[in-house]
Chain A
Amino acid sequence: METNVTAIMPGLTARVVVNEGDKVSKGQEVAVINCMKTEIKVLSEHEGVVKKILVKEWDELQVGDPMVVLDV
């Protein structure tokens, strides 16, 4: 089954810290959002494998926007 790791804050994508094919555990940092001049970590809520990365550096984000697709 697929699930998305989504943006938790509006802002810009600072970076994605996983690669396609990586295994991620629950609570692991997946990406970083830049907002309010600070970096906000986006953690995975599930265990799984990174299937697809949907965003790149400086992409604009709203809350709920998908950033990474996981196979869980």
Chain B
Amino acid sequence: MLKVINGGIETLVEDWPGRLGFLGKGMAPSGAFDNVALGFANLLVGNPPGEAAFEVTGGFFEAEFGLNTAIAVTGTPKAPLLNGKEIPMWESLEVKPGDVIKFSHIGQFGFRWYLAVAGGVDVTPYLGSKSTCIFGSYGGYEGRKLADGDVVRLLKPSRSLREVIGRRVRKELIPPYPREWTLRAIPGPNTSPDYVTAAGMDYLFSHSFKIQHTSNRSAYRLEALPDSFFARPDGGVGGSHPSNIIDHAYAMRGALNICGNTPVLLIADGPTLGGYMCALSVINADLWKVGQGTPNRDFIKFQVATQAEATRARVDQKKLLTENSLT
């Protein structure tokens, strides 16, 4: 088990691909915000890449291990301390009962860490996933972020610890974390000429948008769009603002919702249906970048992609998240 000493800013149990198939029931997929960092952390300790682990957002998480196991930490480059000593990241190591891991603030790049434990996290899957949806208070550990005094059960390592301890992610395969994130995105369903002006679409795919400080696991809010973005004077029966539309389902995860003049990326715990238009959708293989995008610091830029490119990127990401990427 893992005994939480300090829950930190927001530490959650998340897996991948999350809770799929319930959009029409009002349930977001949730899941790890950065599935690449989650995948590597899991692979390092011998787990399948989608196993549940701890997503540490913002930092200051502190916990004591109650068993002998292997752990790995990936994500924002600011190494946590184990019993007061910095540990290597993107590498698996042994922990013993009584060992304490402690995170401080985030690094110069990126926003989230993943702490995986050999065997995985022992929470009961809800509707097929161990992921927490904090917005709806279900899944994961009691449907909420971890708090001081929580005791989280851990599964037993599925492989011999000796086999996995000391493994590393190949250096050249550790994803780069910039300050400006380029996200490949498929335009639609609401674009030019009927909803957005041609100039508006060009702006959307060329401007570098600052991530607003209000961004969280439901929505990444970006800088406002100019009024010239809209091709319609109003939303007709859908509402008075040109971003309004008769309620339609949102392509969760990845849709860029235009909410008034504010572009909002819907991710993780985001809404699954509503009355605002959507101008593009981030491809599945680039969703992880949103999770490392730091509110009030980083920028997001969109690059046009096709479904064929998106599908190839999914295949490439699956290949990346295998033991071949470890040494």
Is B one of A's binding partners? yes
Residues of A whose CB lies within 8 Å of any CB of B are 8-12, 34-38, 40, 60-64
Given contacts A8-B105, A64-B105, 14 further A-B contacts (CB under 8 A): A9-B9, A10-B213, A10-B297, A11-B296, A12-B296, A35-B58, A36-B57, A36-B213, A36-B216, A36-B217, A36-B295, A40-B58, A62-B296, A63-B106
Name the CB-closest residue of B to A12: B213
Ordered by A's residue number, 8 sampled pairs between the chains whose C-beta atoms are within 8 Å are: A8-B105, A10-B296, A35-B58, A35-B295, A36-B10, A36-B214, A38-B10, A63-B105
Interfacial chain B residues near A63, Cβ < 8 Å = 105-106
Interfacial chain B residues near A34, Cβ < 8 Å = 213
Q: Mostly helix, strand, loop or mixed at chain B's interface?
A: loop
The 3 closest A-B pairs by CB, nearest first: A36-B216, A10-B296, A10-B297
B33-59 vs A, CB cutoff 8 Å, 1 = contact: the mask equals 000000000000000000000000111
Contact A60-B214, Cβ < 8 Å, known A8-B59, A8-B60, A9-B105:
no
Name the CB-closest residue of B to A6: B105
The answer to whether the Cβ of B208 comes within 8 Å of any Cβ in the partner chain is: no
- A62 contacts B216, CB within 8 Å? no
- A62 contacts B10, CB within 8 Å? no
- B106 contacts A36, CB within 8 Å? no
- B105 contacts A60, CB within 8 Å? no
- Considering residues B57, B58, B106, B214, which has the most beta carbons from chain A within 10 angstroms of its beta carbon? B58
Contact A37-B105, Cβ < 8 Å, known A9-B9, A10-B294:
no
Complexed CA–CA distance, A34 and B58 (Å): 12
Number of interface residues of B (CB under 8 A): 17
Interfacial chain B residues near A40, Cβ < 8 Å = 9, 58
B1-39 vs A, CB cutoff 8 Å, 1 = contact: the mask equals 000000001100000000000000000000000000000
The answer to whether the Cβ of B215 comes within 8 Å of any Cβ in the partner chain is: yes
- Considering residues A11, A36, A64, which has the most beta carbons from chain B within 10 angstroms of its beta carbon? A36
Complexed CA–CA distance, A43 and B57 (Å): 18
Name the CB-closest residue of B to A8: B105
B57-68 vs A, CB cutoff 8 Å, 1 = contact: the mask equals 111100000000
Name the CB-closest residue of B to A7: B105
Q: Which of B202-223 contact A (CB under 8 A)?
A: 213-217
- A11 contacts B59, CB within 8 Å? no
- A11 contacts B105, CB within 8 Å? no
Q: Which of B173-226 contact A (CB under 8 A)?
A: 213-217
Contact A37-B216, Cβ < 8 Å, known A12-B296, A61-B296:
yes
- Nearest Cβ distance between residue A64 and chain B, in whole angstroms? 8
- Considering residues B57, B59, B105, which has the most beta carbons from chain A within 10 angstroms of its beta carbon? B105
- B106 contacts A11, CB within 8 Å? no
Interfacial chain A residues near B296, Cβ < 8 Å = 10-12, 35, 60-62
Contact A11-B213, Cβ < 8 Å, known A35-B58, A35-B295, A61-B296:
yes
- Nearest Cβ distance between residue A48 and chain B, in whole angstroms? 21
Complexed CA–CA distance, A9 and B106 (Å): 8
- Considering residues B106, B214, B216, which has the most beta carbons from chain A within 10 angstroms of its beta carbon? B214
- Nearest Cβ distance between residue B213 and chain A, in whole angstroms? 5
- B215 contacts A36, CB within 8 Å? yes
B63-105 vs A, CB cutoff 8 Å, 1 = contact: the mask equals 0000000000000000000000000000000000000000001
Interfacial chain A residues near B59, Cβ < 8 Å = 8-9
- Nearest Cβ distance between residue A15 and chain B, in whole angstroms? 15
Interfacial chain B residues near A60, Cβ < 8 Å = 213, 296
Name the CB-closest residue of A to B9: A40
Complexed CA–CA distance, A52 and B302 (Å): 43
- Nearest Cβ distance between residue A23 and chain B, in whole angstroms? 25
